[in-house]
Structure 1
Amino acid sequence: MILIYTDGAAKGNPGNGGYGTILKYRQHEKELSEGFRLTTNNRMELLAVIKGLEAIKVDGIPVKIYSDSKYVVDAVTKGWIWSWQKKGFKDKKNVDLWKRYISLHNKYKPQFQWVKGHAGHPENERCDQLAVDAAESSKLLVDEAYERESK
């Protein structure tokens, strides 16, 4: 099983933000993170999941995602994203990311496990550190979809 641990951070909401993701498979481990100059915490939580799934190089292996984001975990496990999709994401935020996630969900069909944030879970703590460090980086990217929508 591929294990993906994720976290997002934003300094201000909106503000500069970042995500941190750890992928584990057997003895392999990979860390991912990026920071953005203007975004939201929910976008970073969702992007962390997306980037983890996009980093998978082999199909057919079960995937389990650990996230402290109720926004992401509940939207998927409670099926909200499917009703949002049926309604064309009317009045929903982060449509660009949800559409990107849905195609990955259909490919990998990941399981989700919510974890309590800042509660000593080693991988969640590490993802938080990656996300915060990325948000505080001097090399911040542009979250183009967010900046375009927020104008």
Structure 2
Amino acid sequence: MIEVYTDAATAGNPGPSAVGIYIKDRHKFSKYLGSCSNHEAEFLAVIYALEYCSQHYSGEIISIRSDSQVVVHSADTEHCKNPAYAPLLGKILALHQHFSYVFYKWIPDKENKHADRLAREELKKNQ
């Protein structure tokens, strides 16, 4: 099982945003997004994580851990209340085909320090 931690950092809502992805004991990376809302950035963090994993860990079981309740609930139920996030959720669900199983777990901020630090550092570099 591949444990993947995702997080986003934004300066304003919407505002400049970045994501951090920490794949436990394997890899870490961050990406600057430009301007978007905090929820959009959290969805994009999962998308970038799944895209990376599809290239490097195809067929594996993936555990996505996020401190975003909106993303975790949306991915678990395969539905989002806000239609603005539906295309992002659609991308996430389409990426599931690359893995034997994907599950999501909400974690508190204190358990997401690696991904949080990566996202904040990336945002700071680009401001």
TM-score grouping bracket, smaller chain normalisation: 0.7 to 0.9
TM-score calculated relative to the size of structure 2: 0.86
Q: Say whether residues 1:52 and 2:44 are aligned partners.
A: no
Kindly provide the amino acid, as one letter, of the partner of residue 105 in structure 1.
H
Q: Residues 114 and 9 of structure 1: is their aligned pair in 2 closer, same or farther, counting only changes over 3 Å?
A: same
Further displaced range: 96-105 or 63-72: 96-105
SS state at 2:26 partner: strand
Contact 2:74/2:89, CA 8 A, preserved across alignment: no
For residues 34 and 6 of structure 2, what CA distance do their matches in structure 1 show?
A: 20
Instruction: Provide the aligned length of Structure 1 versus Structure 2.
Output: 124
Aligned CA RMSD, in angstroms, stands at 1.9
Higher relative helix content: 2
Q: Say whether residues 1:21 and 2:9 are aligned partners.
A: no
Query: Which consecutive unaligned segments of at least 5 residues does structure 2 have?
Result: none
- Aligned partner of 1:113 in structure 2 is 105
TM-score calculated relative to the size of structure 1: 0.73
Kindly provide the amino acid, as one letter, of the partner of residue 104 in structure 2.
F
Q: Residues 70 and 136 of structure 1: is their aligned pair in 2 closer, same or farther, counting only changes over 3 Å?
A: same
Contact 2:79/2:86, CA 8 A, preserved across alignment: no
Query: Which consecutive unaligned segments of at least 5 residues does structure 1 have?
Result: 85-90, 141-151
What percent of counterpart residues are identical? 29
Q: Residues 71 and 101 of structure 1: is their aligned pair in 2 closer, same or farther, counting only changes over 3 Å?
A: same
Q: Say whether residues 1:8 and 2:5 are aligned partners.
A: no
- The alpha carbon displacement at 1:5 in A equals 0.5
SS state at 1:80 partner: coil
Kindly provide the amino acid, as one letter, of the partner of residue 36 in structure 2.
T
- The alpha carbon displacement at 1:137 in A equals 1.9
SS state at 1:93 partner: helix
Further displaced range: 96-105 or 60-69: 96-105
Contact 1:4/1:22, CA 8 A, preserved across alignment: yes
For residues 29 and 52 of structure 1, what CA distance do their matches in structure 2 show?
A: 13
